[in-house]
Amino acid sequence: MQFGFRAKHSTETANCFLLENVKSKMDKGGAVGAVFLDLRKAFDTVNHEILITKLSKFNFSPDALRWMKSYLEGRTQCVRVSNELSPTRSYDVGVPQGSILGPLLFSLYINDLPSVCTGSEVQMYVDDTVIYVHAKSKQQAAQELTTVMVQVTKWLSDSCLHLNVKKTVCKFFTKRATDATEPDVYVSGEKLQVVSDLKYLGIILDSNLSFKKHVKKVIQITKFNLANFRFIRNCLTTEVAKLYFKSMILPHLTYCLTSWAQACCTTL
C-alpha cells in the first residue's frame, strides 16, 4: 500500500484509490473514520540498526546487508552560510536525502506498519499515512481508530519514529447530513483534532466528498494566474504564452482530475 517512489504509482493513483475505497464503504451506509498521520522529520530519524534489522527480513544476502551498513555509516554533515563553513558533525540516524537509495530505504523501513493495524486499512505515500475504518456510526469508528492508534504508537516508538500529534488529524466521511456530532479519537491520552475538511496530497476533502472547496480553490488559483497572464501577454511570444498556459494554468485544472471530476454537475 505504498504509493510513493514506485513505478506506475503517484499522488493521483493514491488519491483515486483512497477515495474509491471510501466511497464504496459510504455506499454501504454508516461512516468512515480516518486518521491522517504526520511524522516529525521522518527521514531524519531513521535508526540505522533497526533499518538493517528490517532489511534482513527482505532476503538480502549478508554481503548486501554489509554493503548497506557501510553506505549508512561514517557520514558527516556541515552547514555553509555565505563563505563561512561550520565544523563537520557525524550522524548515525536518518537516510541520506537527495540520494536515489534514500526514499527506497525509508519505504522499506516503514513497510511493516500496516501489519500492526489490525481491523483497519492503511495507505501510504512515503511518510503520509492514512489509517481508516468503516463502522455503523462515527462513535464506533472513533473507538476503533483509538484502539488501532495504540498499536501504531507502539510501532512508531519501536521504530524510533515520532508522531506529531498536533498536526495529526482525524476526519469522518458520511452521507448523513444530520450526523453533525464529531466524536473524539485519542492517541496516548491526547485528543486528535477532528477537521471538517483537509488537504490530502493536493486535494481538499470534505465530509461528503462534494469537492466544492477544492473546485473553489482551483478557480481562485486559475483566476489569479489568468490575471497575471493578461498583464504580461503582450510581452510574450506565442510559444512562451503556450508554455505559461501549460505550466501555470493547465496543471491546476487537470491535477488528480480522476478524483474530483466526479463531483456533482452543479459544482462542476
Q: What pLDDT, on a 0 to 100 scale, did the predictor assign at position 176?
A: 75
- CB contact set of 110 (below 8 Å; sequence gap of 6+): 42, 124, 127, 129, 159, 161
Note down pLDDT in tens along the chain; length 268 residues. 999 988 999 999 999 999 999 999 999 988 999 999 999 988 889 999 999 999 999 988 999 999 999 988 888 888 999 999 999 988 888 888 788 888 889 999 999 999 999 889 999 999 899 999 999 999 999 999 999 999 999 999 999 999 999 999 999 998 876 566 788 999 988 999 999 899 999 999 998 889 999 999 999 999 999 999 999 999 999 999 999 999 999 999 999 999 998 888 888 8
How far is residue 248's CA from residue 267's CA, in Å, rounded to a whole number?
A: 22
Q: What pLDDT, on a 0 to 100 scale, did the predictor assign at position 179?
A: 63
Q: What pLDDT, on a 0 to 100 scale, did the predictor assign at position 189?
A: 87
Q: What pLDDT, on a 0 to 100 scale, did the predictor assign at position 100?
A: 86
Q: What pLDDT, on a 0 to 100 scale, did the predictor assign at position 162?
A: 92
Q: What pLDDT, on a 0 to 100 scale, did the predictor assign at position 164?
A: 92
Q: What pLDDT, on a 0 to 100 scale, did the predictor assign at position 52?
A: 92
Q: What pLDDT, on a 0 to 100 scale, did the predictor assign at position 178?
A: 59
Q: What pLDDT, on a 0 to 100 scale, did the predictor assign at position 177?
A: 67
| Amino acid occupying residue 204 | I
Instruction: Enter the pTM of the model.
Output: 0.88
